[in-house]
Amino acid sequence: MEIRQDNANNLNFLGIHDPFRLKNMGHALKRIIKAVNEREKIVLYGNCDLDGVTAVSLLFLVLKYLNADVEYLISDDINDKLNINSGLIKNHIKFLGAKLIITTGCGSQSVSQVELCKKLGMDIIVTDYHKCNNVISEAVVINPNQKGCNYAFKELTAVGVAFKLSQAISMYYEMKSISKYLDLVVLGTLSKEIKITGENKEMVDQGIYHLTYTNNYGFKALLKVYGIKTINRESIFKLSMNMTPSSVSNRYIDNSRIAVELFTTENMDRAVQIAKYLKNEIVE
């Protein structure tokens, strides 16, 4: 697989690490290229928290840009966010006609669920960040904390790992605007309330810059609805907290699915409608 060197050099401009230093990235990219080029159904699977929502949204936008046949699913399993829901595989993803599933921020411990996917004729790419001891031979796993991965930075979040995968995709397809999706990385990363250091700091700093000039209708709507005039780490952290209720419920899961639509819609009126709805839902 050949990657243009001038695209690879963009990594130095961003000040972040080469995505191909993540274990299995080349294998994941090869399978995604096949799915995109052959118009296989791809289903993105993520958690209901803001990190998961932004990770799914990011990959959805990148794959849609490439005209991939892609859909998304937010897990409705409140109690076990680290695993893939077997019921959703059998009762929903299967009937979507999925040939490839890509998880965001979960799946590194889902040995039996991955085996189920394979039995049903679906390949699976697991992107995750949780520490794990399992080795899932039936899946392609991208996780800086998996055994045998020598990636230099271990503190990536779900949306951070999703961006690394998107970076690899962009290098193959020679996409010149991949850094604009760092606006989603900012929101998802800050929502985790972690200390922002290393590569996370680089991505957040770059993302704040791109958020200032974002063309994402969802972000434009949120900034308008929440009255955010100054875009910086503090204001976007506050936004992430405003979008995250104190308790997780079935209603929150429904709202998480709507939030993916917010970040992926191509209609500004719809984006404002969703942003107002989500703000009212959380306030209530």
The DSSP result for the chain, as a single string, is ----HHHHHHHHHHT---GGGSTTHHHHHHHHHHHHHTT-EEEEEE-SSHHHHHHHHHHHHHHHHTT-EEEEEE---SS-TTS--HHHIIIIIGGGT-SEEEEES--TT-HHHHHHHHHTT-EEEEE--S------TTSEEE-TTSTT---S-----HHHHHHHHHHHHHHHHT-S-GGGGHHHHHHHHHTTT----HHHHHHHHHHHHHHHT---HHHHHHHHHTT--S-SHHHHHHHHHHTS-SS--HHHHHHHHHHHHHHH-S-HHHHHHHHHHHHHHHH-
**Res. 10: pLDDT tops 80:** no
Buried-exposed string 235-247: b where 16+ CB fall within 10 A, e elsewhere:
bbbebbeebbeee
Q: Are 20 and 151 in contact (CB under 8 A)?
A: no
Nearest to 207 by CA among 226, 179, 230: 179
Rounded CA-CA distance 60/124 in Å is 16
pLDDT value at residue 6: 45
What average pLDDT score do residues 6-14 get? Answer: 49
pLDDT value at residue 1: 59
**Res. 276: pLDDT tops 80:** yes
pLDDT value at residue 209: 93
pLDDT value at residue 248: 57
CA–CA distances in Å: residue 159 to residues 47, 147, 170, 192: 11, 21, 16, 11
pLDDT value at residue 142: 97
Helix or strand holding residue 11 (H, E): helix 5-14
Domains of the chain: 5-283 (3.90.1640.30)
pLDDT value at residue 284: 44
pTM above 0.85, yes or no: yes
What average pLDDT score do residues 229-246 get? Answer: 88
Name which of 34-43, 85-94, 145-154, 224-233 the model is least confident about: 85-94
Mean of pLDDT over the chain: 89
What average pLDDT score do residues 115-121 get? Answer: 94
pLDDT value at residue 176: 85
pLDDT value at residue 238: 94
